[in-house]
Structure 1
Amino acid sequence: SFSFDEHSNNSQIAALFTSNYNNNNNNNKQTKIKIKMKLQQRPTIQEMRSRGILFDHPNISPQLIARAIKRARDKAKHILRAFLTTRPNVRELQNKNILIHVEAYTKHKRELSADLQHKIRMRPSLQDTPQANGG
């Protein structure tokens, strides 16, 4: 940091302004390079259209494009609704063993827990092991 006072000479002031100018000039060059690289990475208009991001076309009116988009959305909604109406309910999925019954799952967990508790109780204690008895 540099402060101006009555003892500052012209060469110090000139050096400070020159270095600031060069730093700004380098920053501008770096910024231009970054922008140029980003623009090269940017997808073309044709790519954006093919990916469904851009819908405009110079020869087709915007109203016609809007209607086509609405029609495509309505068709997708119709297909999705038809799929959801034929989707099996929870009971059917449980009967086919795709989903498990909550009650059966809870019972199974309780049984596993009880079995584990029983095995822990039946396990020999540290005093019952041969190493603890000096053997």
Structure 2
Amino acid sequence: MLIVDSLWDSAVGLERLADSFGWDVRTANSAGEAQRAAATFHPQLVMISMASVEELWLALAQRLRGDLGGDVQLVALSTAWPASLGNLKPYPFDEVLQKPLHLSDVQALSDRMRRRMPELVFNP
């Protein structure tokens, strides 16, 4: 899992939470760091924290989708996905999770990923 959040403490907090579910986690605090990490780490899941629906984060998601292929799961983390944007069809994300994330959110996401990609290996 790659967690992209411009706030270091938020990224580290989510990293610890995901790690407790057995994910192998990397963090990035900028679009450039995320691209470099994805190039060497090749995550199956990328979570991008978006303070707002900014072009920078949308462009990053599109680049990662292109670089990592269609199998990568892209999740937007948002405090409020604007209702005016409607569904996710025109955007590169597979789903949106509302911040703040709770333990049950990460558990449910982990369960969905295990069902979607049974070949995933989680750390014990």
Q: TM-score per shorter chain, which class?
A: under 0.3
Larger strand proportion, structure 1 or 2? Answer: 2
Which structure is larger by alpha-carbon Rg, 1 or 2? 1
Larger helix share, 1 or 2: 1
TM-score, structure 2 length as denominator? Answer: 0.16
Q: Which has the higher contact order (CA 8 A, sep 6+)?
A: 2
Give TM-score, length-normalised by structure 1. Answer: 0.15
